[in-house]
Amino acid sequence: MLATIIASGLATGAVYALVGITYNTMYATSRVMSFTAGQVGMLGGVLGSLYMIVWGLPLLLALPLVLASCALIGVITEYVAVRPVLKSLEQHLYVLSTLALSLMFQQVTAIEWGTEPRPFPKLFGLGTGISDEKFWIPVIACILTIIGLEYLYRYTLLGRAFVAVAEDNYAAQALGLPERNLRIASYALAGAIGGLAGFSGGELMLAFFANGAVLNFYGFVPVALGGLGNNKGAVIGGLALGLFQQAANFMVGGIFASVAVFALFIIVLLFVPQGFFGSATARRV
């Protein structure tokens, strides 16, 4: 029983963490919390099923195609929902524009793909019971993403440019960094990470249009718990959320598990409003 809770808790937690990283990556260069993050995750599963089961593509072809498609969704988000709002309107209106675009992605998927969940293929066909691949693929995807992002941010010029824009947008622009292009690139990267979340969790969550809303909610929780913009916090927050949710599912079951998750979420935010790993920023008055 404990092993089951840990296996499925870590797996769902890893998917939430990846969606949390998607939120963070979009946030880093634009200061915008984009609610398309969960929908990109949903599309990762739906497109994975489309490419592999409907079109019959092999994994090695389907995975890059899913990541590229989701990166494109990320870029569309930047162009349609973020850029116009940042340019000409009060900043907080992005909540409405990204939420509207997110609902559009969901409804188009419902119309074109259907409202019933559809199967997601077995990627490798390895393991049974609690060692089933559906439990460890998301965890491995999450670890690889963290390693990849660390490498990108620490050792590549592009990554350092991302960090520079995230740190101080105006200073980065003054130094001649192409802020707008970097923002588009970060949205593409975020889209690919979100796509990977849905693809790696596809066997667990199936190819289902309603997963978008679920991932939007549960992907946001680790971001808030771990601290906005902090990937380490998102991963720890995501895994903790997954484990807590599964434990709550087992202890109190069904509807009350969601209540337990959000009760804990509110309590944490009351005491640590900046999240466990976020730093409280001083505001000049």
Partner 1 sequence: MKLSRREMLLAAASTVSAASMGLARPALAQTDPIKIGWLAALTGPSSAPAVGFNRGVVFAAEAINAAGGIKGRKIEIITRDTQGDPTKAVNATQEMISQLKVQAVWGPTNSGESLAVTPILARAKMPNLHPCVVDTLIDPVKFPTSYRIAPSNTQWDDAVRNYTLKILKAKKVAVLGDTTGYGVSAANASAAAIKKDGAEVVYLANIDATQPDMNPDMLRAKNAGAEAIVCWSVSTGMLARLFNTRAAMGWDVPFIGHPSMSSGEIGSLIEKPANWEKVYAVGYKSCSYDAAGKLPAHSQELVDRLKGKVDLKDTLLWWVAAGYDAINLFAKAIETSGSTESAAITGYLNSLKKFPGYFGTYTYSETEHNGYQTEEVVMSAASSARDGAFTLAPGYL
Determine the Cα–Cα distance for residues 177 and 263; give it in Å rounded to an integer.
43
> Which tokens go with 25?
């990556």
Q: Interacting stretch for partner 1, rule CB under 8 A, among 56-64, 163-171, 219-227, 244-252?
A: 244-252
Distance of CA 272 to the CA centre of its chain: 22
Determine the Cα–Cα distance for residues 277 and 281; give it in Å rounded to an integer.
12
Yes or no: say if 208 and 45 are a contact pair by the CB < 8 Å rule: yes
Q: Interacting stretch for partner 1, rule CB under 8 A, among 54-62, 87-95, 251-259, 268-276?
A: 251-259
Q: Given the complex with partner 1, which of 127 and 178 has the nearer CB atom?
A: 127
Number of residues that bind partner 1 (CB under 8 A): 33
Determine the Cα–Cα distance for residues 238 and 175; give it in Å rounded to an integer.
36
CB of 231 to partner 1, least distance (A): 23
Binding of partner 1 at residue 114 (CB under 8 A)? yes
CB of 269 to partner 1, least distance (A): 23
Q: Which helix (H) or strand (E) holds 241?
A: helix 231-251
> Which tokens go with 124?
């490798």
Angle, CA 279 vertex, CA 38 and CA 217 arms, to 5°: 20
Task: Write the interaction track for partner 1 spanning residues 130-169; mark x where CB under 8 A is met and - where it is not.
Answer: --x-------------------------------------
CB of 216 to partner 1, least distance (A): 12
CB of 182 to partner 1, least distance (A): 35
> Which tokens go with 146?
């963290």
Nearest in space to 62 (alpha carbons), one of 51, 49, 73: 51
Determine the Cα–Cα distance for residues 47 and 258; give it in Å rounded to an integer.
28
Choice from 91, 107, 115, 279 touching partner 1 (CB under 8 A): 115
Binding of partner 1 at residue 124 (CB under 8 A)? no
String of DSSP letters for 174-223: HTT--HHHHHHHHHHHHHHHHHHHHHHTHHHH-B-TTHHHHHHHHHHHHH
Task: Write the interaction track for partner 1 spanning residues 195-234; mark x where CB under 8 A is met and - where it is not.
Answer: ------x--xxx-x-xx--x--------------------
Nearest in space to 148 (alpha carbons), one of 252, 21, 234, 257: 21
Choice from 24, 36, 39, 249 touching partner 1 (CB under 8 A): 249
CB of 65 to partner 1, least distance (A): 22
Binding of partner 1 at residue 10 (CB under 8 A)? no
Task: Give every CB contact of residue 51 below 8 A, 6+ residues apart in sequence.
Answer: 57, 61, 62, 65, 66
Task: Write the interaction track for partner 1 spanning residues 12-31; mark x where CB under 8 A is met and - where it is not.
Answer: x--x----------------
CB of 140 to partner 1, least distance (A): 17
Binding of partner 1 at residue 116 (CB under 8 A)? yes
Count CB neighbours of 127 within 10 A.
13
Choice from 155, 253, 271, 283 touching partner 1 (CB under 8 A): 253
Contact set with partner 1 (CB under 8 A): 1, 4-5, 8, 11-12, 15, 110, 114-119, 128-129, 132, 201, 204-206, 208, 210-211, 214, 246, 249-250, 253-255, 257-258
